[in-house]
Amino acid sequence: MNRPNEQRLLKMDKRVEAVNMDDWAQLQQLQNHFLQLNQAFFEGLNDRPVASHKKCLKEDEQHLNQPKILENGVGIDALIQHIHDDIFPGLSASRGGRYWGFVTGGATPVATFADWLVSSLDQNVSKGGDSIATDIERLALRALCEVFELPSHFTGTFTTGATAANFLAAICARQFAGHQQNINVAQDGLGHLSLEVFSATPHASMIKSLRLAGIGQKAVTYVSTIDGSEKMDVEALASALSRSQATSKCVIASAGTVTGTDFDDIMAIARLCQEYNAWLHVDAAFGLFERLVTEPPYQTQGIELADSITLDCHKWLNVPYDCGVYLTRHPRHLYDSCHVPAPYLIQDGEEPDFMSLGMENSRRFRGLPVYLSILAYGKAGIRAGVKNNIDLSQALAAWLDRCEHFELLHPCRLNVVVFRPLLPKEGECDQEKKLDDVCNAFLQKLNQDGRVFMTPGQWQGKTCIRAALSNWGTTQDDLTIAQQALMDTIEKMKIRGSGFAS
């Protein structure tokens, strides 16, 4: 590593020739090399720190910044070596079983390799007529509706994630409101559009989407929640709607809030939306999966009455990044907003092209990993992964609840565990402020340890730690390792006898 890099790379590269794009013998070689890299990453996954704290390549690792290399490229060996030596050490094991931050899925084997194929096949699903890819995407959307027992009037498109799906919801709500007010927003802009948005605990990405859509953050009226939860108080919504001076209304319901995993009463909200002619969007990014593991009535009961739904596939469906879904029963509004009038494009028959149903024109064959995952594992396979996560989350919650060093802040009902470390009894101050500081310091230490990764949150005004289990591969062993890491971190933070260092 002490040698200047350019030399190191060139020395490794005996051919001192760049990778040849059209040499098929090299293609085989490249494939083998990448397979080996892949194998090495998978094999080391269990021992890899769950979060890497390496910020960026050190200067002596930034080979590509060398002018000569930038101009000429390097050979295969050097390239592979660079990935292995310089990039791999900085990657996290976020696809592994102990990354419990945010709501992060892993990637099942079939979904992983299906996603490889997406790159190899390099199909563009912007328009139909030249490939079966668009048909497969439509099948994938149908299959998702089947799996989640959603009526067939829902259609839509694959997106990069739930944020992009929420953005399409904002666009549609905007177009719908315009329709009510004789304004064609897509044609004429927002003008004097009068639209009020009601929500109790919207995901941050929903607020971002309202900003992006020109509706603006201030259009949101926050509806109060039912005590001790993040669930919308429907009576408060009813009175907010009745007080509203806005010509058009949109309600954003949550099916699975990210901390409390609370579900709004969609059935009751849908009735109000019908009464007030309001657009109902349900952000069910991961909450919709609840229906796989319970009997009706589901917590998402009534979602079939929604005008639009957000779903994430790179969370609980465990397909690789990036993949979300936007579904609506009013494709007209989506089409009116996103339609691309381009005469040179081939028409695909009756159904609108995907480029007229979403943000992108060109995009990857994102539906393939979803389609093949459902085919390969079936609803039963997906259900088993979800059930396993819920069981392990509840086991973790029960353990934390029993353990004197932690406080479980909320009963675990799905896959998110909300807790904080406790100050020792003999600690002289027990104010919330001190608890918040200890919580933050504890989480930082825990994540530095590298055995498990969690993210911070707020629960009813208290700083908390969230452990969200959404990876198909998480096992009882992972739970045991995480518990050990939690206890070790408690030990590390104890100041002899008297309290915690923060």
Q: Which residues of this chain interact with ligand PLP, rule CB under 6 A?
A: 103, 161-163, 203, 205, 256, 258, 283, 285-286, 312, 324
Minimum distance between the CB of residue 402 and ligand PLP, rounded to whole angstroms? 29
Q: Which is nearer to ligand PLP, 246 or 258 (CB)?
A: 258
Cα end-to-end distance, the chain, whole Å: 37
Minimum distance between the CB of residue 207 and ligand PLP, rounded to whole angstroms? 10
Q: Which is nearer to ligand PLP, 162 or 435 (CB)?
A: 162
State how far the alpha carbon of 166 is from the alpha carbons of 158, 253, 283, 470, in Å. Answer: 12, 12, 7, 21
State how far the alpha carbon of 79 is from the alpha carbons of 56, 62, 86, in Å. Answer: 18, 12, 10
Q: Which is nearer to ligand PLP, 197 or 285 (CB)?
A: 285
- SS3 letters across 358-421: CCCCCCCCCHHHHHHHHHHHHHHHHHHHHHHHHHHHHHHHHHHHHCCCEEEEECCCCCEEEEEE
Local structure of 279: helix, strand or coil? strand
In 83-181, where does DSSP find H-type helix? 109-121, 133-147, 162-180
- Asked, as a colleague might, if the bond just before 341 is cis with ω within 30 of 0, I would say no
Tell me the C-alpha distance between 171 and 395, whole Å. Answer: 41
Minimum distance between the CB of residue 461 and ligand PLP, rounded to whole angstroms? 21
In one-letter notation, the amino acid at residue 263 is: F
Q: Which is nearer to ligand PLP, 220 or 486 (CB)?
A: 220
Minimum distance between the CB of residue 16 and ligand PLP, rounded to whole angstroms? 43
Tell me the C-alpha distance between 275 and 300, whole Å. Answer: 20
- Per the listing, tokens 């490939």 go with 131
Minimum distance between the CB of residue 460 and ligand PLP, rounded to whole angstroms? 18
Q: What is the DSSP string of 11-56?
A: HH-TT--PPPTT-HHHHHHHHHHHHHHHHHHHHHGGGS-SS----S
Local structure of 295: helix, strand or coil? coil
Minimum distance between the CB of residue 364 and ligand PLP, rounded to whole angstroms? 16
Local structure of 122: helix, strand or coil? coil
Give yes or no for a contact between 158 and 370, defined as CB atoms under 8 angstroms apart. yes
Minimum distance between the CB of residue 478 and ligand PLP, rounded to whole angstroms? 21
Q: Which is nearer to ligand PLP, 203 or 329 (CB)?
A: 203
Q: Which is nearer to ligand PLP, 156 or 256 (CB)?
A: 256
Q: Which is nearer to ligand PLP, 162 or 465 (CB)?
A: 162
Closest CA to 74 of 3, 25, 6: 6
Minimum distance between the CB of residue 104 and ligand PLP, rounded to whole angstroms? 9
Minimum distance between the CB of residue 258 and ligand PLP, rounded to whole angstroms? 5
Query: In the bound complex, which residue of the shown chain has the CB atom lying closest to ligand PLP?
Result: 161
Bridge partners of 198? 221, 251
State how far the alpha carbon of 271 is from the alpha carbons of 268, 276, 306, 494, in Å. Answer: 5, 9, 10, 53
Q: Which is nearer to ligand PLP, 162 or 372 (CB)?
A: 162
Q: Which is nearer to ligand PLP, 123 or 261 (CB)?
A: 261
Q: Which is nearer to ligand PLP, 316 or 442 (CB)?
A: 316
Minimum distance between the CB of residue 416 and ligand PLP, rounded to whole angstroms? 10
- SS3 letters across 311-361: EECCCCCCCCCCCEEEEECCHHHHHHHHCCCCCCCCCCCCCCCHHHCCCCC
Minimum distance between the CB of residue 284 and ligand PLP, rounded to whole angstroms? 7
DSSP assignment letter at 423: P
Q: Which is nearer to ligand PLP, 258 or 372 (CB)?
A: 258
